[in-house]
Amino acid sequence: MTSEKDLPHERTTRYTIRVRETMEKMGHATNGELLAALHDAFPHLSATTIHRITTRMVERGELRLAPSGSDNNLRFDANTTAHDHFMCEKCGILKDASIGEQLRPQIEAAIGDDCSISGNLTVSGICKECRRNT
Q: 4-77 and 84-132: same fold? A: no
Q: According to the model, what pLDDT value does residue 41 have? A: 95
Tell me which CATH code domain 4-77 carries: 1.10.10.10
Please tell me the least confidently modeled range out of 10-14, 48-52, 95-99, 104-108: 10-14
Contact yes or no for 50/85 (Cβ under 8 A): no
Architecture label for domain 84-132: 2-Layer Sandwich (3.30)
Q: According to the model, what pLDDT value does residue 83 have? A: 92
pLDDT digits (tens, 9 = 90+) for 3-46: 544 544 566 789 999 999 999 999 999 999 999 999 999 999 99
Q: According to the model, what pLDDT value does residue 11 have? A: 67
Pairing type for strands 75-77 and 94-97 reads unpaired
Contact yes or no for 10/33 (Cβ under 8 A): no
List the chain domain ranges. 4-77, 84-132
The pTM of this model reads 0.82
Chain centroid to CA 65: 5
